[in-house]
Structures are given as structure tokens and as C-alpha cells.
């Protein structure tokens, strides 16, 4: 739908902010998805607490990038895809948005696959049949529910996932001193670069930048009133900061659990099903059950947001907003979800599919980041709300860091 903008001024009270919470959490589910589970469990089981710093760095970059993407949506009333279509040459725009659709497909692959693995854990449903069930459920919810209903559903799912990992961490013997060092002290253990890149790709995700610039418009008021827009930007930053910190805590909890449970026992986990099976003798049946249930909710919730992002990106190619009743949005959702499902049919190792889908996301990420920097730094696009020099320099530094890490990954894979 194209969001309806209220021309009235909101009451600037605490209750208004609580009404504003939602878009950030919708984005958060995208980086506590099954791809993150695979990356984080691999990081924790193989390297203990040593790679926690990557979650901290990724979340810091994510807060800045997501706020900047939402900033674009608030100021222009356009999502990132629409703005690219309006302000970038057609051939270049098509390359940018074409790769972004590919990133959404890669994301959906990980989300659907994760949900299917969870169904296999819980009910012994074959992974490919489970993938069809997850895809069909996610598409049905996208086509039949309003945004408000989906938002509430996602918030519920995030809460369940968060509570599940609070339980998991509470019953394992975490070495908090090592964890504290790991959160702030960068290290690059031998052979860890692919996992580092997969963690980066799992936290900072291209499709989430497009999605946030779209869904933030569900909270718009008067686009012509500068005071209202300024207040909305403050609300949005608080919502983004809160939501991203929730994601940081859940991602960290995954690594903590894997480090305390598997690394301490010198068990290398290369499959999410293996992780669930290993938890049972180490921590008991309740821990493995909660792990599988949380994975199912993570897979289903993130499949929904991946489809929404794909629909938003594809509709933007035609200079249209996300509207599930419009054929371009519907086609974008179906391209994202069905293509991902077809690829799953040919994936031999589900865990490897999850890991390398995240690496593919990190390879596309610089394209989206530099496109976003160009658009949000342009006074033609943003007017007086264009990026300040300090913001622009920070975004460029983030973009360069991501690009250098990707170059290092390619070198390590080719050597």
C-alpha cells in the first residue's frame, strides 16, 4: 500500500513514541534469522567467544545504516528502490535493483531453509517438503494480512525468539570474562574469515535497508511540516536503536550458547540439526525443543519480511510503492519466494546453503550502501535533510570497511 500521511500534528508525548515502535523490530527479525543462527553457531562452536566483536561492529554499522535508510523514507516519502528509480540513470538503476532482488532471494533462501530445518527437528518432515510449507505459509500471510497485522505478528515472534535464548543462556556456563573481551577485542583466528564475513552478511543485510525505508512510512504524519518531520526522525532513531540492540543481544546469545556448549566440548557444529541433537544430551530435552521452536518462528517471520522486501524492491523498479494488491508488488514477492524455494530443491547441504547465502548478501551489500549514501547525501533528493558531512564520512567509512572485508574474503576463497 502507499502509506496515508496524516496532515495533523501528533501530540509529542511518550505515548506517541510507543505507538511508533514497530518498523525497527520488523527489520530486526531479518538479522535474527536462520542465516544468523548458522553463522553464529559456527562462530561460537569453532572459535568460542573470539568473534563476538563482529556482532558488536556489525550492529554499530547497522544502526547507522538503518537510521539513514529510514531517514530517506521519512523525508522523501519514497523507499530506497523508488528513490533509485527516480534519481539514478535507468541502466545503472536496473543493475543496482536487479542485484538487490537477488539479495532478497538469497535472504529468502536462508529464511525458508531455516524454517524447514526446524520443521524437520520438530516433526521429522523432510526439509524440501518443509521448505514448501514455510514458503506457502509466508506467501499466504503476505497476500492476506494487512501491514499492521503482520507487524504485530513479527513483534510477537521476536519476543518468543528473545525469550528462548534468554532461557538457553541462563542454563549454560558462560565465561563472561572471555565474552566481555570478545565483544570489544577484534581477532582473526586462522580460517575464520569466511565465518566473519557470514556474520557480517547475516547482520547487515541489503534487503533490510530497502525494507526499513518502506515500512517506516507507515508512521508518517505531515511531510510538509518541518517540526513534525524532525520529531519523527527522533522517534525513528530511538525505535531503530532499541530494536537493533535487541538484535545484538539475541545474536550475541547465539554465540554465547554455542561457545559455552560446543566449543568448550571441542564440538564443531556444521549443521543446525546437529546443534539441536547435541543440545539434548548436553542441556536436556527442553533446551533442544526450545531451540527448534525458536528456529521455526525465526524462519517464518524472516521469510515474511524477505518477501516484503523483494516486493518493495521490485515495485520500486517501476517507480511504484509497496502495495500487496498491486501486480508488481505481488510479482516481486513471488519472484523472491518461489525462486528461493526452487534453489533449495537443488541444495545438497542445508547448513552450507545458509552460510553461503549470507556471504552472497555481504558481496551485494556495498552496492546498496553506496547507492544509499549517494541518495541521502544529495540535496536534490533530501533537501535540507541531506546527510551532514560527518554523517557522510561515517557512512563512507562503513562502506569502505565492508568492501575491504569482501575483497579479503574473495582472496581467501581463491587462494
pLDDT value at residue 221: 53
As for how many domains the chain has, the answer is: 1
Expressed as residue numbers, the domain containing 374 is 22-414
Whether 272 maps to a domain, the answer reads yes
Predicted TM-score of the model (pTM) = 0.87
Closest to 273 (Cα-Cα) out of 129, 169, 45, 118: 118
Q: Give the three cell numbers for residue 352.
A: 552450507
Residue 170 CA: distances (Å) to CA of 4, 182, 235, 288 = 44, 19, 33, 14
pLDDT value at residue 354: 63
Whether 119 maps to a domain, the answer reads yes
Which residues 6+ apart lie within 8 Å of 108 measured at CB? 303, 306, 307, 310, 336, 337, 339, 340
Whether 104 maps to a domain, the answer reads yes
Alpha-carbon radius of gyration of the chain:
20
Whether 245 maps to a domain, the answer reads yes
Whether 13 maps to a domain, the answer reads no
Whether 12 maps to a domain, the answer reads no
The domain spanning residue 264 has which CATH number? 1.20.1740.10
Produce one character per residue of 23-56: b if its CB has 16 or more CB atoms within 10 Å, e if not: bbbbbbbbbbbbbbbbbbbbbbbbbbbbbbbbbb
Whether 3 maps to a domain, the answer reads no
Whether 8 maps to a domain, the answer reads no
- Tens-digit pLDDT string for the chain (415 aa): 555 454 444 454 445 555 566 677 888 887 788 878 878 998 999 999 999 999 999 899 989 999 999 999 988 989 999 999 999 999 999 999 999 999 999 899 989 988 999 999 999 999 999 999 999 999 999 998 777 788 888 888 888 988 898 888 888 999 999 999 999 999 999 888 888 877 776 677 889 999 999 988 765 555 566 777 777 777 888 889 989 999 999 999 999 999 999 998 888 886 777 777 778 777 777 888 898 999 999 999 999 999 999 999 999 999 999 999 999 999 999 999 999 999 999 877 766 666 667 677 777 888 999 999 999 999 999 999 999 999 999 999 998 988 887 777 667 656 6
Which residues 6+ apart lie within 8 Å of 376 measured at CB? 68, 69, 71, 72, 382, 386, 387, 395
Q: Give the three cell numbers for residue 300.
A: 517464518
pLDDT value at residue 351: 63
pLDDT value at residue 137: 96
Report d(CA 84, CA 140) in Å as an integer.
29
Q: In degrees, to the nearest 5, what angle opens at C-alpha 230 toward C-alphas 219 and 72?
A: 65
Report d(CA 62, CA 360) in Å as an integer.
17
Amino acid at each position: 500500500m502507499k502509506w496515508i500521511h496524516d496532515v495533523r500534528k501528533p501530540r509529542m508525548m511518550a505515548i506517541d513514541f510507543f505507538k511508533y515502535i514497530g518498523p525497527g523490530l520488523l527489520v530486526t527479525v531479518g538479522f535474527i534469522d536462520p542465516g544468523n543462527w548458522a553463522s553464529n553457531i559456527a562462530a561460537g562452536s569453532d572459535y568460542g567467544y573470539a568473534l563476538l566483536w563482529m556482532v558488536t561492529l556489525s550492529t554499530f554499522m547497522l544502526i547507522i545504516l538503518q537510521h539513514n535508510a529510514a531517514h530517506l523514507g521519512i523525508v522523501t516519502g519514497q523507499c530506497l528502490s523508488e528513490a533509485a528509480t527516480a534519481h539514478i540513470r535507468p541502466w545503472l538503476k536496473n543493475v543496482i535493483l536487479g542485484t538487490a532482488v537477488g539479495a532478497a532471494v538469497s535472504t529468502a533462501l536462508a529464511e525458508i531453509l531455516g524454517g524447514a530445518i526446524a520443521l524437520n527437528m520438530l516433526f521429522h518432515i523432510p526439509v524440501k517438503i518443509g521448505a514448501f510449507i514455510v514458503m506457502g505459509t509466508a506467501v499466504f500471510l503476505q497476500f492476506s494480512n494487512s501491514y499492521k497485522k503482520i507487524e504485530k505478528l513479527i513483534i510477537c515472534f521476536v519476543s518468543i525468539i528473545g525469550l528462548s535464548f534468554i532461557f538457553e543462556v541462563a542454563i549454560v556456563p558462560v565465561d563472561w570474562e572471555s565474552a566481555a573481551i570478545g565483544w570489544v577485542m577484534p581477532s582473526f583466528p586462522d580460517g575464520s574469515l569466511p565465518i566473519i564475513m557470514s556474520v557480517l552478511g547475516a547482520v547487515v543485510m541489503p534487503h533490510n535497508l530497502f525494507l526499513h525505508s518502506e515500512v517506516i512510512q507507515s508512521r508518517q504524519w505531515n511531510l510538509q511540516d518541518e517540526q513534525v518531520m524532525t520529531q519523527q526522525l527522533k522517534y525513528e532513531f530511538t525505535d531503530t536503536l532499541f530494536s537493533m540492540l535487541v538484535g545484538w543481544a539475541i545474536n550475541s546469545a547465539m554465540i554465547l550458547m554455542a561457545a559455552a556448549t560446543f566449543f568448550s566440548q571441542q564440538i564443531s557444529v556444521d549443521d543446525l540439526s546437529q546443534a539441536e541433537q547435541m543440545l539434548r544430551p548436553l542441556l536436556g530435552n527442553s533446551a533442544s525443543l526450545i531451540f527448534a521452536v525458536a528456529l521455526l518462528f525465526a524462519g517464518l517471520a524472516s521469510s515474511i519480511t524477505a518477501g516484503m522486501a523483494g516486493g518493495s524492491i521490485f515495485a520500486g523498479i517501476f517507480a511504484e510503492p509497496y502495495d500487496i494488491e498491486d501486480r508488481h508488488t505481488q510479482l516481486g514477492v513471488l519472484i523472491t519466494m518461489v525462486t528461493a524455494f526452487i534453489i533449495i530443491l537443488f541444495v545438497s547441504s542445508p547448513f552450507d546453503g545458509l552460510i553461503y547465502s549470507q556471504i552472497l548478501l555481504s558481496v551485494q551489500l556495498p552496492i546498496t550502501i553506496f547507492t544509499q549514501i549517494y541518495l541521502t547525501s544529495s540535496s536534490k533528493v533530501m533537501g535540507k535533510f541531506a546527510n551532514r558531512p560527518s554523517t557522510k564520512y561515517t557512512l563512507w567509512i562503513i562502506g569502505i570497511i565492508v568492501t575491504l572485508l569482501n575483497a579479503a574474503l574473495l582472496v581467501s576463497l581463491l587462494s
